[in-house]
Amino acid sequence: MPASDRTRRLLAHSLLFASLAFAAGCTGNASTDATASTDDAADGTITPSNWPDVAWPFPHDAELEAKVDALLATMTVEEKVGQTIQGDIDSITPDDVRKYRLGSILAGGGSDPGRQYNAKPQAWLDLADAFWEASMDINGGGKAIPIIWGIDAMHGQSNIVGATLFPHNIGLGATRNPELLREIARITAIETRTTGMEWTFAPTVAVPQDDRWGRTYEGYSEDPKLVAEFAGVFVEGLQGKVGSNGFLGDDRVMSTVKHFLGDGGTASGKDQGDTLSSEAELRDIHAAGYVPAIAVGAQGVMASFNSFHGEKLHGHKPLMTDVLKGRMNFGGFIVGDWNGHGQVRGCTNTDCAQTYIAGLDMPMAPDSWKGLYETTLAHVKAGTIPMERLDDAVRRILRVKFRMGLFDKPKPSERALGARFELLGAPEHRAVARQAVRESLVLLKNQDGILPLASDQRVLVAGDGADNMSKQSGGWTLTWQGDGTTRADFPNADTIWDGLKAQVEAAGGSATLSVNGSYRQKPDVAIVVFGEEPYAEFQGDLANLMFKGGKSGDLELIQKLKADGIPVVSVFISGRPLWMNREINASDAFVAAWLPGSEGAGIADVLLRGADGKAQYDFKGKLSYSWPRRADQYDNNVGQEGYDPLFAYGFGLGYGDDGNLAPLPEDPGIDMTAASANTWYEHGVATTGLTLRLVGADGNAMDIVHPAATTSDGSLAMTAINHEVQEGARQFAWSNDATVELRSNIPLDLDRETNGDVYAVVTLRVDALPANGQASVIATCGEGCRGEVAIGDALSKLPRGEWTRLGVQLKCLRAAGADTRSLDMPFALRTGAGAQVALTRIVASTDFDHKVECATQ
């Protein structure tokens, strides 16, 4: 960012931050002197006095402190350490809690009772009871200290079948309605309590600055002011108001504000990357949501995966201890993110004294909890972790548990909302979600006032997003990535098609669903619903802002309908703004619908006129993120010098506005061919447009949607393992001849890359070779068209148990028979019994450590 731009932007944000601090009841002010802010150190130095002095809203409570002191005085060091450890239900049992006296459990993305993503609500509640009973069982010794269960209730209690699913935060940001968010948070708390959890890891108050980031949709806005306006009311909606009788009561949950700090500001929008901003930018932009959240009594803050100038936040004492707990007076406890402590310099997932010393109170150790417990206990006994620091962490945790009244509560099923499953997806809750959908929609184009549509006509509904609950709900929905679900998993929900069909038919019109846009009788209008496939965290990171298109060929579908003389209204489902000029040009109207959740009927409420011919609801949504003019326009935030988006922050048409739009340029500013062909498999997951498939020795194939799978004949088993990031790789074990395939939904043209001496490069770890020594890489190009290159000898020369990059020249595959102009399977690995290989990345590249030699002439 140019210095002059940075100066102006920081001046504006410094004044904003000062106003937020004042509104939050700060007992002092962060420095707002222009020179101090704009000349702020850009080398990672932190000066706590530059930060706001927030008023923690709890006066000293002598009775509460006496309870904490009395209990702490009776606890052994083993019990104290146990209180600070949080394990995941997929890797811990109630008996483990009973033995180690752990303070907390979580259900991370993909962790479910019985490992069933669609487990019944009763199964969740039964498990909550079992863990609570274990924590209170003192027959084997120890103190009865109730466990607290945390969960990612990200957009409603989105882990539970039948729950109300609200729009993701990007959509809520477009509503500009803080009081609606308060009500959404209140409902989320109620539905979470029915299944026994007392704690949600929300809200996310990131301020995303680069929309390539895979978590952009978790942020309300690129504008810190809007994020700050929403943060406090959402915390109050979850927890209640400090001082009220209902604060942290049986219909409320503990809030955790996340991720501290700078998660939305990493270089190139890389998830878990490095934030290289100045201290003033970190404070004024990325910490904006924490001031109001602390001021209303948020009980938890979650440390972030990212670094600040190379120092991981899980080990950053100046920020966690000196700023958050010290200067900003945060009196709750800091919880870690999924094995985030293991990324601290000098640490592993099972050994990290540094994270405690830096100020983390409760490491999230999902599958590493036992090892971390043992090493932490040893560190305390050795004095590496001071007892004073451990006692402070335990005090903070106990204080929250006493404040929530957990010591006086029965098991979860016997509390006020336990087993009240009729509240999951209750009609009054869904009505609020439907309102949120209506208010989140942003109208970008309305040529010749085509909207609102008359309902009493022939309406064709097309596109693979029209009748697709997974797509319209996005990540963090029943599964971590939001994929692998079925329509039956959403009993209290309407797809976008459901809503359109019901209203059109009620008005006397006819509605037809055709994903590919085919029809028998020409419709009066077509509504095409399309967009991004669901994703979460790093699996949604992009190299650019180019929309890649879906399986149905979205642009081609819109153009085909237009060529037939049919007006087209496009509804775009996405977790961020993307370069969509071609699709916008081809459409008569274009609506950004974000990730609306369970109430797809809210879209019909706005698009369609009522039976009386009048508009039912106008568009209210305004962009909370600037819309890119080009696919390489990454620095595109309001207030920046040279700010030149296609649609500016705050843009959003209403029915009273002129919605006509001149044709947009269709040059994305990047090489579209290169953008779509380079990366096929990242962090153990097939990228957009490709599918990971396992083919057993019996020839039966299975497409992969979950991180663990085994072929029907047992010849090939896949499990998720950690590499660089959580579940960042897949381990494959062969007991017979079998194949790991990457299938492309649309044939890939790699002719240019083949001619340019590009390789298929796989980042792998060979743990064991096949017994017969044979292995091959395969590419196919339709029926009867394939190329196969032997790599058994190359694998035998790779170092065992070490990650490395092996390249197979595309020319080798072409020489072996593959037509690289039209590959429906750009990569497959086939080997046999005894082989154990882990894969994390497969790309078309010229950068590798080892290569397979072959004759290509």
Q: Which residues are catalytic?
A: 337, 537
H-type alpha helices, 209-315: 224-239, 279-281, 290-295
* Exposure string over 354-390, b if 16+ CB within 10 A, otherwise e: bbbbbbbbbbbbbbbbbebbebbbebbeeeebeeebb
E strand segments, 143-281 = 148-151, 199-200, 254-260, 274-275
Place of tokens 């909302």: 417
3-state class percentages of the chain: helix first, strand second, coil last, to nearest 5: 35, 20, 45
CA–CA separation, 433 vs 438, rounded Å? 9
Helix (H) or strand (E) holding 809: strand 803-809
- Residue 370 contacts residue 337 (beta carbons within 8 Å): no
Cα–chain-centroid distance for residue 836? 30
- Quote the CA–CA distance of 842 and 826 in Å, as a whole number: 10
CA distance 463 to 533: 13
- What beta strand segments (E) does 407-488 contain? 442-446, 458-462
Count the Cβ atoms, other than its own, within 10 Å of residue 92. 23
Burial of 139 (0-12, 13-18, 19+ CB in 10 A): exposed
Alpha helices in 195-256 (DSSP H): 224-239
> 42 CB contacts (<8 Å, ≥6 apart)?
276, 277, 278, 279
Side-chain half-sphere of 664: how many Cα atoms within 13 Å? 22
**Integer Cα distance of 370 and 107 in angstroms:** 17
Three-state secondary structure along 735-749?
Answer: CCCEEEEEEECCCEC
Give the span between the Cα atoms of 818 and 780, in whole angstroms.
6
Q: How many CB atoms lie within 10 A of CB 87?
A: 25
Q: What are phi and psi of 505, to 5 degrees?
A: -70, -35
Both structure tokens of 521 = 């009788």
- The pair phi, psi for residue 459, each rounded to 5°, is -115, 120
Name residue, tokens 């790789």. Answer: 729
CA distance 395 to 377: 17
CA distance 97 to 579: 49
Edge-to-edge strand list for the sheet holding 307-308: 274-275, 307-308, 311-312
| Cα separation, 755 vs 499, whole angstroms | 50
Reported as type and span, the H/E element at residue 734 is: strand 725-734
Q: Is 569 strand, coil or helix?
A: strand
Alpha helices in 316-447 (DSSP H): 317, 353-358, 369-382, 387-403, 427-440
C-beta separation of 50 from 31 below 8 A: yes
Taking the C-alpha atoms of residue 730 and residue 803, their distance in angstroms, rounded to an integer, is 13
Report yes or no: 223 and 282 within 8 Å, Cβ to Cβ: no
